[in-house]
Structure 1
Amino acid sequence: MSTFLQLQVDTLAQAIPTADTANAALTNEVSVLEFIFKGGLFLIPIALLLFYTLYIIFERYIYIHKAAKIDNHLMSDVRNHLNNANIDMAVMAAERSGTAQGNILKEGVLTIGRHINEIESNMERAANIEIGYMERRLGQLGLIAGIAPTLGFIGTISGVIKIFYSISVTEDISIGNISGGLYEKMISSGAGLIVGIIAYAAYHLFNGKIDGFSLSIQKQVLEFVNIIQRPNGHKAK
């Protein structure tokens, strides 16, 4: 009986990790930065794409947020000045806004006196120019959304090739050898997908905002045409 109890105590002592074992496990833990660096050389271009993507997002957000702003009071001011036959004040009101809407309305005010179709056409061309300014570099976001995941997959594939080449040379097919090298190479795939998702989401969010501006400015052009077609003193509804 004492021998059986002694065997149980020895078994429990072996099963419970000692302090030294726990400390060794903690020591073997890899920091997040070290974990990322294990992804290989393909993480360098992916990281560069990430920084460039964040720069484009920051720069485009500031520009589009300012340029695509629609001020309903601006149209009211322009209407009042035109009804009072004060074209110069209408131009000044449009210039003060500092938005794409103001530039488009300014183009319409400056062409008053021409045929209505020409005025509308000029305003639409001005709107297309402003939309073109807003869409600058958005194509690059779409390109990054496709390139970054591809770079990640290439990094993983090259790592897998190296793993199997090492196995063919050393004939070491242990699970630890395969899984250890494979998880390191899959880091590049994960990083590429993350960068691609960020670029893809930003691309479509910005385009959605620009589409909303395009719809709003079409309404503004129609309202402006209605204003100049009506006799002075009658406000457009």
Structure 2
Amino acid sequence: GLQKADKDVEAVEKAIENAGIIEMAFLEKGFIPLSTTINLAPMLGFFGTMVGMIRAFADIAAAGEVDPTIVASGIQIALITTAAGLAIAIPVQFFNNMFLSMVDGFTMDMQRGTEKVIETLVENK
């Protein structure tokens, strides 16, 4: 952006804006795996819940009666997979939000810096 300081202020502002867009894309690129993990972990946990419940009902059907010991292993699978999905998604969500907040702070700093540069260029022209 400053390489165009001898141009008009609009050209400098546009060049700085374009550089900011490129930097933001670089910073935000790392959020894709985090977002994917946040979305997929609970779904995989829910999938495990379904598998566990299917197993529990299949065990009931095979036994012909409802006995807690028959369905316990299927329910255990359901609960473990649900807990695992949440145990993964919750801390990843926390860190994702923390990193997003940091990127927002960088964005605000870049915006303030851009405004100062433009003001300085306008004053010196």
TM (norm. structure 1) is 0.49
Query: In 1, Cα distance between the equivalents of 2:124 and 2:77?
Result: 74
Query: In 2, Cα distance between the equivalents of 1:162 and 1:178?
Result: 8
Q: Identity over aligned residues, as a percent? A: 23
Equivalence for 1:33 = none
Give 1:153 shift.
Answer: 0.8
Give 1:217 shift.
Answer: 0.9
- Paired residues, number: 125
Asked if 1:168 corresponds to 2:30, the answer is no
Asked if 1:113 corresponds to 2:6, the answer is yes
Higher RCO (C-alpha 8 Å, min separation 6)? 2
Equivalence for 1:210 = 103
**3-state DSSP of counterpart to 1:148:** helix
Aligned CA-pair RMSD: 1.7
**3-state DSSP of counterpart to 1:222:** helix
- Judged with a 3 Å threshold, the aligned counterparts in structure 2 of structure 1 residues 135 and 201 are, in CA distance, closer, same or farther, namely same
Give 1:210 shift.
Answer: 0.9
Equivalence for 1:179 = 72
The letter for the 1-side match of 2:32 is: G
Give 1:143 shift.
Answer: 2.1
Give 1:204 shift.
Answer: 1.8
Give 1:181 shift.
Answer: 3.1
Gaps spanning 5+ residues in structure 1: where?
1-106, 233-237
1:186-233 deviations in Å (ceiling 9; x for gaps): 10110011111122222222111111111111110111112222249x
Structure (1 or 2) with the larger CA radius of gyration? 1
Query: In 2, Cα distance between the equivalents of 1:230 and 1:168?
Result: 83
Equivalence for 2:93 = 200
Equivalence for 2:45 = 152
Gaps spanning 5+ residues in structure 2: where?
none
Query: In 1, Cα distance between the equivalents of 2:37 and 2:77?
Result: 23
Give 1:154 shift.
Answer: 0.9
Query: In 1, Cα distance between the equivalents of 2:78 and 2:117?
Result: 59
Asked if 1:189 corresponds to 2:98, the answer is no
The letter for the 2-side match of 1:226 is: E
Query: In 1, Cα distance between the equivalents of 2:34 and 2:108?
Result: 23
Whichever structure has more helix as a proportion of its residues is 2
Equivalence map 1:53-72=2 (5 Å): none
Query: In 2, Cα distance between the equivalents of 1:165 and 1:181?
Result: 9
Query: Is 2:13–2:118's contact at 8 Å kept on the other side of the alignment?
Result: yes
TM (norm. structure 2) is 0.89
Query: Is 2:45–2:83's contact at 8 Å kept on the other side of the alignment?
Result: yes
Give 1:136 shift.
Answer: 0.7
Asked if 1:127 corresponds to 2:20, the answer is yes
Give 1:140 shift.
Answer: 2.6
Where has structure 1 moved over 3 Å in runs of 4 or more? Answer: none
**3-state DSSP of counterpart to 2:119:** helix
